[in-house]
Amino acid sequence: MEKQIIGRDAGLPHAPAVAWRDLVFVSGQVGFAPGTREFAPDIESQTRQALNNVLDLLAASGCEAGGVLQMTVHMTDMIGEFGAMNAVFREFFPDRPPSRTTVGVSHLGRPGLKIEIDAIAARGA
């Protein structure tokens, strides 16, 4: 079985998501509104949008939120914004959350971006 590319090519040398057999790998998603490079200034809005972007790519691959196995969260301000990010994360995964690693980073792709989230999920889970 060949890998299936999910999502639009944004001119970058990577796929937004790749499906292979029953697994889906979602590349890091930030808080950009769909089809734009615009984002809200606060961590809550950026987290919510990044998670929605991940889930939209998963849905396009035939995967549901319950199939998310693992996520990695990169944050530019772990000390000041970890609690607010976690509160939004709980909105999306109130029960049986995926495994998760959260890492502090000095910066992301554009000034003002606060969070980037990637995921691995299983279809049919």
Q: What is the CATH number of the domain that holds 89?
A: 3.30.1330.40
Domain enclosing residue 52, as ranges: 28-117
| pLDDT band (50, 70, 90) for residue 8 | confident
DSSP state of 50: H
Q: b/e per residue, 27-64, with b = 16+ CB within 10 A?
A: bbbbbbeeeeeebeeebbebbbbbbebbbbbbeebebe
Residue 68 covered by a domain: yes
Residue 37 has pLDDT above 80, yes or no: yes
Distance CA 109, CA 87 (A): 24
- Condensed to tens digits (0 to 9), the pLDDT of residues 67-115 reads 999 999 999 999 999 999 999 999 999 999 999 999 999 999 999 999 9
Residue with tokens 């590349």: 27
Specify the pLDDT at position 77.
Answer: 98
Residue 58 has pLDDT above 70, yes or no: yes
Residue 37 covered by a domain: yes
Number of domains in the chain: 1
Residue 94 covered by a domain: yes
pTM: 0.94
- The structure tokens listed for 92 are 């999306």
Residue 12 covered by a domain: no
Per DSSP, what are the bridge partners of residue 115? 75
Listed in sequence order, the residues at least 6 apart from 69 whose beta carbon sits closer than 8 Å to its beta carbon are 98, 99, 120, 121, 122, 125
Residue 11 covered by a domain: no
